[in-house]
Amino acid sequence: MSIAACGGTTTSDSAQNSASRVYDTPPAKGDVDMIKWNLPTGEPATMYPPHSFDFSAGTVMSNLCDTLVTTEPDLTDGMGLAEKVDHPDLTTYVFTIHDGVRFWNGDPLTAEDVAYSLGINLDPAVATYYGAMYKNVESIKATGPLEVTVKLRKPDVSFYNYLDSAGGAIGQEKFMRAAGARYGTPSGGLMCSGPYRLKKWTPGEQIELQRNDDYWNPKHRAHSAAMSFQFITSSNTMMQALQSGAVDGSFQLSSASVPGLQNSSTGTLYSSTATRTISALLPATSDGPIADVRIRRALSMAIDRAGLVQGVLHGLGTPLNWMMPDTVMDTPVQTEASSKVYKDALATVPKGSLDEAKKLVEEAGAPNRPLVLAIPEGDEEIRRVGTVLQSTAEQVGLKLDLRVTPPADLNNMYYDPQQRAGIDLLWDNDTMAGGSPLSMFGSYLGPDAGNNLLNYQNPEVDAAMDKAAATDDQVEQAKILAPVLVKVAEDAVMITLYTPNANTFLSKQLTGVGLADPFFASGIWAPSIGAAK
């Protein structure tokens, strides 16, 4: 079985991952009238920026609402609304905003709009999902007509690293205040300054965008006059839509779609290893059997990660033994020196064996009920992985039940304890923002981390995170954080499985799509797609 693997390589069921780390397709040669795109994780629950912490919302909003900084196609940092960022000390950022930027309604964008858009995340009543980003922010103020100054209580790279996400989306203060709780909903809409404007959101059907012909940045002038986003979550239904031409493209394609799309006459399936996304099992409670580190370690030890990649993903992924994907460990994200520190530490992560895993379960005592893993509905790849994990658990004396859940409900489980009642593990796809593990640690480690559902506490880990946040030197950070990565892997704070390849399908009539994951959720990706001929 072979597919377009981004650079002429092929991938086979029995071979190692041979896809290339390629970041984009050839540039567009002309304009098109319409692009129909799919959101495989379903309809966004909202596009209210503080509550838009999922792939679907990010994929749409990255083309609607500008951010101060952005992600480039090669996953390095780029400049957005900010033409300059000064960092005079470790607790101060000063952003100089581009002059001449206008919202879709023609009003000029001001420093007050920027300060308000970011500042709402500091309001406890807003209950932002970007707590890791804003937890150490002391103040956000307009300090000039086109200048915004952010003060931190202590050094924290998470704020800057997440600025390219929906948590850093800039809207018009006047419009946001008038819309109130309806802002970011189908009825309330958005008012931003991006290369596309929100035309209409029809719940349950589609989101329609229209090109912003007055966009301030010619680099991102859109090739397509309009875009339509569909909400197909079933792998089989999505495959049929792509094959028939009813949909022009999609990111995040499940490997289950590969056999049906590899020889498509309507488009090309690209698979790239340029990804910051990890697939993992996230402990969902501080009670019950999963709270016992021996049970977590046993399950983690027993998992054949390479077997999952080859047997379920058709080789389109990379086994992952800790909370840092290969792309983030390599240049250009890291220096050669910091990359070596991380890779040397990764080699020390203990693998364990089935026999060791069985002994841990015996020592802890086999739970008197099955562990329950919540997985998203409609994803055949994840269902197959879940089935393999059930067999794996049985081999070491554990039982694992699968709770198939609508994607939107699964996303809500992260924030609503009642929705995750009776759940031990959540299927977790997450991405690392920026080049430091601190950006992910901020969400999963420490007492204030929103995804620390396990309530994992380790004073040494917390102290190391604070120490690493106090330096901008990548090598020094790596020396501090590499042992933390090893420790949280040993404690199975997150049971990492693999980094799935960035699988993208694009109509043969189109080109210019960025292939890296999660470029589509934190960079301006849609304007570059246009006619292939």
State pLDDT tens for residues 149-161.
Answer: 999 998 887 788 8
Instruction: Reply yes or no on whether the pLDDT at 502 is more than 60.
Output: yes
pLDDT band at 5 (very low <50, low <70, confident <90, very high): very low
What is the C-alpha to C-alpha distance for residues 523 and 431, in angstroms, rounded to an integer?
Answer: 13
Mean pLDDT rounded to a whole number for the chain: 92
What is the C-alpha to C-alpha distance for residues 68 and 89, in angstroms, rounded to an integer?
Answer: 19
- What's the 3-state SS for 2-43? CCECCCCCCCCCCCCCCCCCCCECCCCCECECCEEEECCCCC
pLDDT band at 4 (very low <50, low <70, confident <90, very high): low
pLDDT band at 435 (very low <50, low <70, confident <90, very high): low
What is the C-alpha to C-alpha distance for residues 44 and 60, in angstroms, rounded to an integer?
Answer: 9
Question: Higher confidence at residue 135 or residue 66?
Answer: 66
| Segment 59-70 mean pLDDT | 96
User: What's the pLDDT at 7?
Assistant: 36
Structure tokens at 448: 């204030």
What is the C-alpha to C-alpha distance for residues 146 and 428, in angstroms, rounded to an integer?
Answer: 39
User: What's the pLDDT at 19?
Assistant: 65
User: What's the pLDDT at 259?
Assistant: 83
The residue behind tokens 């390629």 is 22
**N-term to C-term CA, the chain:** 28
State pLDDT tens for residues 313-364.
Answer: 999 999 999 999 988 888 888 899 999 999 999 999 998 899 999 999 999 9
Closest C-alpha among 247, 245, 269 to residue 256? 269
What is the C-alpha to C-alpha distance for residues 84 and 327, in angstroms, rounded to an integer?
Answer: 27
Residues 6+ apart with CB under 8 A from 297: 352, 357, 360, 490, 491, 492
User: What's the pLDDT at 2?
Assistant: 33
Report in angstroms the alpha-carbon separations of 169 from 36, 67, 165, 196, 237: 24, 5, 7, 14, 32
Say which amino acid occupies 280: A
| Segment 455-472 mean pLDDT | 91
The lowest-confidence range among 35-39, 60-64, 69-73 is 69-73
| Segment 145-170 mean pLDDT | 92
State pLDDT tens for residues 244-285.
Answer: 999 999 998 988 888 889 889 999 999 999 888 899 999 999
User: What's the pLDDT at 127?
Assistant: 93
What is the C-alpha to C-alpha distance for residues 128 and 122, in angstroms, rounded to an integer?
Answer: 8
Instruction: Reply yes or no on whether the pLDDT at 35 is more than 70.
Output: yes
Instruction: Reply yes or no on whether the pLDDT at 208 is more than 80.
Output: yes
Instruction: Reply yes or no on whether the pLDDT at 92 is more than 70.
Output: yes
User: What's the pLDDT at 12?
Assistant: 34
Are 318 and 499 in contact by the 8 Å Cβ rule? The answer is yes
Domains in the chain (CATH in brackets) are: 32-250+503-531 (3.40.190.10), 277-500 (3.10.105.10)
The lowest-confidence range among 103-107, 121-125, 259-263 is 259-263
| Segment 100-118 mean pLDDT | 98
Instruction: Reply yes or no on whether the pLDDT at 10 is more than 70.
Output: no
User: What's the pLDDT at 17?
Assistant: 53
pLDDT band at 380 (very low <50, low <70, confident <90, very high): confident
